[in-house]
Amino acid sequence: MSSVKVAVRVRPFNAREKGRNAVSIIAMEGKTTSIYRPKAVATDQPKTFSFDYSYWSQTGPEDPNFANQEQVYNDIGKEMLEHAFEGYNVCIFAYGQTGSGKSYTMMGMGTREEEGIIPRTCLEMFERMDGNEDSNLTYSVEVSYMEIYCERVKDLLNPKSKGNLRVREHPVLGPYVESLAKLAVTTFGNIKSLMDEGNKARTVASTNMNAVSSRSHAVFTIILTQKKRDTLTELISEKVSKISLVDLAGSERAKDTGAEGKRLQEGAKINQSLTTLGKVIHSLAEQASSAAKKKKKGEKSFVPYRDSVLTWLLRENLGGNSRTCMLAALSPADINYEETLSTLRYADRAKQIVCAAVVNEDPNAKLIRQLKEEVKKLHFLIKAEGLEAKVASFDLHYVPTGGGGAPDTPGTLKAVEKLKEAERLMAELNMTWEEKLKKTEAIQKEREEALAEMGIALQDQEGRAVGVMQPKKTPHLVNLNEDPLMSECLLYYIKDGTTKAGSGGDIQLNGEFILEKHCTFVNGNGVVSIVPNPDSQTFVNGRPDS
């Protein structure tokens, strides 16, 4: 049994806060964080909280108390990675107000010094595996990347994902996302490329709080498998660890963000899931407090995991089989007092949660056996309904043994659906490493083809990464974004002839003012002209095009 570790980090003032002459209300000393009420009188006492780590990042590196990206990773990331190699599930999730620095702490910026917890964890993991000198020990790594946007789950690594994957519950697996791609990776370069592509696919929009605001929860999962051969018995033992790295969408107040229409609805969904997360943390803290007081069994408070997709999927990481760390990001500004105080209270509650993490040894063999038993029972049940399998695969369909129409009872349909899913899971678990690599290559090819259909290239014509060297001859557009991670990372090639741009064009654009047919590019002999839709807002070099 171990408590959730909690760290808080305060960032520097941003441009919005400087523009409003904000005053700092945060003070840190050792592990203690204090918050002062704005315009407090001399007799007012600050509210003080104690955490595992309190990181002061409001000033610059010249401050001896300044906590940089490396220090945060060394304290949190290294420990969690060590637990993963021991065979435990681990989770790091960042919580805080919109624009408080969550994405910076988790992902970081482009330079090596400013890389966040996620890329540093991946790099050190592969360095440790590459340095392995034990011939009896082998490693394999798979990754998945999903976003939860307006309570819908989208696979960020699979171009076929339409943004509404189903969340299921399995008695052994627990909550999982049906058909979420788990891609095999063999180098840090592989995993970094997938991270970059996933980040570019995330739903990002602007609010008054933050010019580049992540509007979705992002969950990057690494599955680390360690196989060790016993030289005496020749038996192979296996440990499977799941590393969940979660960048939550920012909490915010609608009146502060200036959100309207779709942005306002997004904010409501985000706040709904974060409110549910707060309720879950509160319930788990109450349970831990009750256990400490030796409350009777059966009097545990109800934990509303299923009230949101986010908490349902994070169930194991919150009070279950996981070593978990919460990183709360804070704004230092007095104008954000209420949100910052709320974040500190969230973090203070989370300290009380107790997780029951165990080493995950040989789960696949046990799971495959249980799935086989489940398939056998379901086959028997379906046969009792007068049906027989036509094709023995998880794409199978069923026909009556007598040749008539299939019984359409809810029980039969449910049994067939459960059987298909059980056989799909079993086929996935039985895949060899070579098969997983082939599947990864196939999805990579599909992703590149899907992007090419939209006129987007992730590499230039000579195979180099976009942003490093751009093609000099082929006319093209490059995306711009205030976030360096998102800027100049996509190329839109202007092909010979006509290329339509808009929400439904050859070049697909999203945004509040983007029309279905926004404008047209005409490329004749390398000379490109733009023809705007009369109702569109189209600018060339910052000037309206007419």
Looking only at the bridges linking them, the beta strands covering 90-96 and 323-330 are parallel
Give just the sign of the alpha carbon dihedral 100, 102, 103, 108: positive
343 is in an annotated binding site: no
Answer yes or no: 99 catalytic: yes
Measure the CA–CA gap between 18 and 54, rounded to whole angstroms: 23
Answer yes or no: 247 catalytic: yes
SS3 of residue 305 by DSSP? helix
**Among 77, 87, 88, 102, the one annotated catalytic:** 102
CA atoms within 13 A on the CB side of 495: 13
Amino acid at 275: T
- Helix segments in 476-529, DSSP class H: none
SS3 of residue 221 by DSSP? strand
SS3 of residue 74 by DSSP? helix
Residues in the chain: 546
Measure the CA–CA gap between 398 and 400, rounded to whole angstroms: 7
For 11-61, the three-class secondary structure string (H helix, E strand, C coil) is CCCCHHHHHCCCCECEEEECCEEEECCCCCCCCCCCEEEECCEEEECCCCC
3 is in an annotated binding site: no
116 is in an annotated binding site: no
What tokens does 475 get?
């006319």
Give CA angle at 527 (523, 532), nearest 5°.
Answer: 60
Answer yes or no: 101 catalytic: yes
467 is in an annotated binding site: no
The H or E element spanning position 170 is strand 167-170
Q: What does residue 501 show for φ and ψ, rounded to 5 degrees? A: -125, 140
Measure the CA–CA gap between 426 and 98, rounded to whole angstroms: 41
CA atoms within 13 A on the CB side of 87: 12
- Helix segments in 385-432, DSSP class H: 410-429
Residue 176, Cβ density class (10 Å: 0-12 exposed, 13-18 middle, ≥19 buried): middle
241 is in an annotated binding site: no
**Among 54, 55, 77, 99, the one annotated catalytic:** 99
103 is in an annotated binding site: yes
526 is in an annotated binding site: no
> Taking a C-beta distance cutoff of 8 angstroms, is the pair 364, 240 a contact?
yes
The H or E element spanning position 232 is none
Answer yes or no: 104 catalytic: yes
- Helix segments in 111-260, DSSP class H: 117-130, 188-201, 254-257
SS3 of residue 306 by DSSP? helix
Measure the CA–CA gap between 130 and 492, rounded to whole angstroms: 37
508 is in an annotated binding site: no
Of 376, 388, 447, 429, the residue nearest 412 (C-alpha): 388
Of 152, 142, 282, 284, the residue nearest 217 (C-alpha): 152
- What one-character DSSP code corresponds to residue 392? S
**Among 247, 334, 348, 506, the one annotated catalytic:** 247
**Among 101, 278, 319, 502, the one annotated catalytic:** 101
User: Which residues carry a binding-site annotation?
Assistant: 96-103
Q: Annotated active-site positions, please?
A: 99, 101-104, 247, 250
User: Which residues carry a binding-site annotation for ATP?
Assistant: 96-103
